[in-house]
Structure 1
Amino acid sequence: MTTNPLIRQECAATVLGGPTVVIDLGGLRIVSDPTFDPPGPHGYLTKTAGPVATEEQVGAVDLVLVSHEAHPDNLDDRGRTFALSAPLVLTGPRSADALGSPAVGLAPWTSRSLPRPDGGGELTVLAVPAVHGPEDGERDADGNVNCEVIGFVLSGQGLPTVYISGDNASIRTVAEISRRVPAVDAAVLHAGAARVAAKFGGRPLSMDGRRVAAAAAVLGVDVVVPAHYDGWTHFSEGRDDLELAFREAGLSALLNATEHGSWTPLRRG
């Protein structure tokens, strides 16, 4: 674990472990899917490793993004406390109802804009769909597989456009996002091929390495920051599987599977 605070960057992202990513963009510090608990059981899921930085080392944040609050591998106990202490949390409508203030629910294809401290105008956060399991999985009344999950697209004048997938397992959904947001520069993609035996016959609830590589190709991004592939026992693939999938696809130059706590620039050059 790092003993130093995470120094603010101009335009970069770092994975802390599990799904938790810190993104510095437009003068804002953004944290997605905060999980800060130590290792241990969380109901039917088991956490095996904590993050490489504490809440205190992350410091003050401007925005927390929660893809879904229903599962502790994306929002554990300390992560929930961290999120609710932020000035703003953006998430899906059901998650916002469950979390309460300061959470604001965004349905897919709706957005929220925030003023940028760097003087560049506004950062727009667009909510986009996600499918948390196989395409043919049983859906609830709102059309969700497993539970409500959303992804996000961050954009603003002079900034790279950044897609954060959340726990999406659907390439069809990625293709829809690519059609509707045609100029994505960087992507934070949840991987790990999460599997729970009691759900959908043990089929993946998040993308495996090959689907992450396919998503990168469909989006046409320059930078891929993978997350959600370690720290929990139900993740069935790790970093080696991601690296192999990108190597076999001829896309290794896109993948930035660096050590947790290391910063990745969100645009080339």
Structure 2
Amino acid sequence: MARTELSRQESAVTVLGGPTAVIDIAGLRIVSDPTFDPPGPQGYLTKTAGPACAERSMGPVDLVLVSHDLHPDNLDVRGRAFARSAPLLLTGPAAAARLGSPAVGLAPWAAHTVRRGDGQGDLSVLAVPAVHGPENGERDADGNVNCEVTGFVLSGRGIPTLYVSGDNASVRTVAEVSRRVGDIDVALLHAGAARVPAKFEGRPLSMDSRRAAAAAAVLGSGVVVPAHYDGWTHFSEGLSDLKLAFHEAGLSSLLHAPEHGTWVHLPR
């Protein structure tokens, strides 16, 4: 049963189920990839569990991040309404054109600043690339595999730098983010090895568990919070696979995956 209230935190992240996460940082409440519909079929995908917290429990939200708008496991009907009711929605350029106001489209490596709620200046939101499928998958006219997907890096004075991967299956892309951005303190990684038989011969559309562990090693993050690994039938790997992969890589201490709706407090 969804909780009725999600208390404000100084610096913390919680995953609500599927890809949806709440990030309280710099005096702001940020929600990424909102999905609030109940379980059931959604086109060619099937949702098996609802979120740990409903929309009404979010309270005032300052910013919504949408990695992509074309797949219901990342933006469903209620999630879309929630995102469009926020004061600001950041996403990719094509998604922003489809979603309309208050969406702002950011091409890869473009940044947008948001006035912090703690009075300490601005939060920088940097859009970074993502590859929603195999590296050698067929690309569209804009160079995207599967569809346009945007990751984000949040940073600012006195707060941890946080990377939200979006549905990215490419460790090479993670390495590029690390090289261009520098230190990433916290990584919110979409995992689950999502597979759709009709796409790319059933190869993963998002990171499998071993790639997630490899991405964590490349980033050098002290905290890794996994998302997008349960709640839908097309996720082929779950939390037990993630724990095993991080254990085998010697990175278990980095992985933070408490019960959905439970806060992971971030380093200063």
Q: How big is the alpha-carbon RMSD for the aligned residues of Structure 1 and Structure 2?
A: 0.7
Q: CA deviation at 1:59?
A: 1.4
Determine the C-alpha separation between the residues in 1 that align with 2:207 and 2:188.
12
Where 2:188 maps in the other structure, the secondary structure is strand
Q: How far apart in 2 are the matches of 1:266 and 1:204?
A: 30
CA distance in 2, matches of 1:36, 1:175: 32
Map of 1:235-246 to 2, 5 A cutoff? 235-246=235-246
What runs of 5+ residues in structure 2 fail to find an aligned partner?
Answer: none
Query: Structure 1 residue 39: deviation in Å?
Result: 0.3
Distance 1:3 1:12 in 2: 18
- Hey, what does 2:141 align to over in structure 1? 141
CA distance in 1, matches of 2:63, 2:145: 26
**Which sections of structure 1, spanning at least 5 residues, go unmatched?**
none
4+ residue runs over 6 A deviation: none
Deviation digits for residues 96-128 of structure 1, max 9, x if unmatched? 011000000000000000111101110000000
**Correspondence 1:38 to 2:48:** no
Matched, 1:181 2:163: no
Q: Secondary structure at the match of 1:242?
A: helix
Structure 1 distance, partners of 2:34, 2:206, is 17
Matching residue's letter, 2:113: S
TM-score of the aligned structures, taking structure 1 as reference length: 0.99
Describe how 1:53-202 pairs up with structure 2 within 5 A. 53-202=53-202
Local SS of the residue matching 2:229:
coil
Task: Decide whether the 8 Å contact of 2:16 with 2:51 is kept in 1.
Answer: yes
d(CA) in 2 for partners of 1:82, 1:101 = 13
Partner amino acid for 2:139? R
Letter in 2 for 1:103: A
Matching residue's letter, 1:241 = D
Q: Is the 8 A contact 2:4 2:57 kept in 1?
A: yes
Q: CA deviation at 1:4?
A: 3.5
C-alpha separation between the residues in 1 aligned to 2:250 and 2:4?
A: 36
Q: Contact (CA 8 Å) 2:160, 2:186: kept in 1 or not?
A: yes
Partner in structure 1 of residue 13 of structure 2: 13
Q: CA deviation at 1:2?
A: 4.3
Residue of structure 1 equivalent to 2:228: 228
Residues 125-182 of structure 1: CA deviation (Å, up to 9, x unaligned): 0000000000000001111000000100000000000000000000000000000011
User: Residue 218 of structure 2 aligns with which residue?
Assistant: 218
- 8 A contact 2:130–2:149 mirrored in 1: yes
Task: Describe the SS at the equivalent of 1:153.
Answer: strand
* 2-structure distance, mates of 1:53, 1:257: 16
Q: Quick one: distance in 2 between partners of 1:143 and 1:90? A: 20
The equivalent residue for 1:51 is 51
SS of equivalent residue, structure 2 residue 14 = strand
User: 1:249 Cα shift?
Assistant: 0.3
Give, in whole Å, the separation in 2 of the partners of 1:31 and 1:178.
23
Structure 1 SS opposite 2:101:
coil
Deviates more, 1:143-152 or 1:1-10: 1-10
Matched-pair contact (CA < 8 Å) for 2:4–2:56: no
Structure 2: how far apart are the matches of 1:181 and 1:27? 23
The number of aligned residues is 268
Mapped partners of 1:207, 1:232: distance in 2: 15
Instruction: Give, in angstroms, the shift of residue 3 of structure 1.
Output: 3.1
Aligned equivalents of 1:59, 1:240: Cα separation in 2 = 32
